[in-house]
Amino acid sequence: MTRKLTGMTTCLLILVTGLTLGLSEPQPKPTTIKESLDTAIDDERHAIAFYEAVMAKFGERRPFSNIVHAERRHEAMLLEQYVRLGLTPPANAWVGKTIDVPDTFAEACDASIVAEIRNGRIYDRLIAGTADDEVRDVFERLQWASLERHLRAFRRHGSGWDELKSDDLTKEQKKQREKAEEARSAMYGELLGELMKAIQKGGPTGAIDVCSKRAPDIAKAAGEKHGVRIGRTSWKLRNPKNQPPVWAALLVDERPESARFMADDSGRLGALMPIRLSGTCLKCHGGSSDLAPGVKDQLDRLYKEDQATGFKDGELRGWFWVEVPESAGADAKRAE
């Protein structure tokens, strides 16, 4: 195990996951002190909103009950810098927003681990680009609190996800990996078959309908048949419901070109396996000159915030993710 929660060739990237996380997403590098402060305060407010939502669901339990107060102090420290510099802070974009919270308290802590690590990365960029000594000092203090205090607290209460090197998998984990690959192949084959039929019948716009309406059912069926949770995700989503599971979120940030594996304290194995574009996929995922007639209008109608175009043949499009319970490896061992 080397780190705490930190291929098939096709373009099958629309599926419903069971969890939409309240996580900080990587942001472009700000160019002014105002933009830097705006980025920082938005992320602190996002954290407050998520941690408050967690407490509304699970009660005022530590570490959330302590850390949410710290996040409010962080917001106040940033607001003092707006006053000092004569700048106007942005309105709080998270007030009144519905925040999705994971199903279990441990998963909420896992999501918070991801959020705090991403918060630290945000401050890396802000600190590097900030010339104002006082603002930079505030950024450094807030980053330290996130990584040295908040992150450690959440890790004590999380699921214990660790990354594993493929060569370090135990015999049981290798059986789990085989189960993940079987489920991935089953989902791939079923969805690809339906996509090809739809394209033959109605062209690429028909394939979009398959992804929109049938992909979730195909993923659910493959998961139930193989006793796993399975889906697809990307850093450029078409369907916003296709966020990665929490254990895969930081891996997705790294854009891995090969399979990566995670394991938690309960014995679950998580597998993230790359998907690459083939030529036919460009009709729905390529640049503007590659898209088939009618595809853009169809995408505009079904996916208002579509990000999943502009790819080239052979490029990494995203990943299959599969979560295999411990029992899958034990069942396979007994069957030998």
What's the pLDDT tens digit per position in 174-199? 999 999 999 999 998 888 887 788 77
247-270 per-position pLDDT tens digit? 999 999 999 999 999 999 999 999
According to DSSP, the residues that pair with 323 across neighbouring strands are 229, 270
Confidence of residue 331 (pLDDT cuts 50, 70, 90): low
38-53 pLDDT, tens digit per residue, is 999 999 999 999 999 9
DSSP 281: G
Helix (H, G, I), strand (E, B) or coil at 274: strand
Containing H/E element for 185?
Answer: helix 171-202
pTM, two decimals, is 0.79
Least confident of 29-38, 72-81, 316-325: 29-38
Domain boundaries, the chain: 8-17+162-335, 21-157
Other Cβ atoms closer than 10 A to 309: 18
CB 9, CB 318: distance < 8 Å: no
Query: In the structure encoding, which two tokens stand for residue 223, read together?
Result: 């998961």
Q: With bands split at pLDDT 50, 70 and 90, how would you rate the model's confidence at 2?
A: very low
Please report, in angstroms and rounded to a whole number, the separation of the first and last CA atoms in the chain: 27
pLDDT at 88 over 50: yes
CA distance 38 to 300: 30
Q: What is the pLDDT averaged over residues 81-104?
A: 94
CATH superfamily of 21-157: Ferritin, core subunit, four-helix bundle (1.20.1260.10)
- Decide if pLDDT at 98 tops 50: yes
